[in-house]
Amino acid sequence: MDMPATAAPLTKTDDEWKKQLNPEQYRILRKKGTERAFTGAYWNNHEAGTYRCAGCGQPLFTSETKFDSGTGWPSFWAPAAKGQVAEHEDSSFFMRRTEVVCSRCEGHLGHVFPDGPAPTGLRYCINSAALTFDKKG
């Protein structure tokens, strides 16, 4: 998992994001939305490669840490490299969760839960619309 260090922070206006992203990407990345389970492009993807932020292109996760959680969202047990994602407390919808965002553009990716497989025991539950996929090779 040799990934580059986190890139410099990226900030854009709301109008710039609206022009760059499609409506679903904008709703999820910039407005903290969630796609319906089993509807995203990558929940059942089994190809080798790198998952990048759909907002800024930063590498976030790799197929090496992806696993089938049965939840209907792409799930990973670790980010591609330290510092690629950031975590924030999320107490919306009367729940206590940990939100996961891209450390470069602060785009909402999903949430992380403590019920994943070894070796980390974590499950990064990520929206497909927040990602792009670079197939290996």
Alpha carbon distance 40, 44 (integer Å): 9
Alpha-helix residue ranges (DSSP H) falling in 3-99: 14-20, 23-29
Alpha carbon distance 98, 79 (integer Å): 15
Q: Which positions are catalytic?
A: 125
Would you say 133 and 51 are in contact if contact means Cβ atoms under 8 Å apart? Answer: yes
Burial 51-69 (b: 16+ CB within 10 A, else e): bbbbbbebbbbbbebbeeb
Residue that has been written with the tokens 């290996």 in this structure: 136
Phi, psi of 133 (to 5 degrees): -130, 125
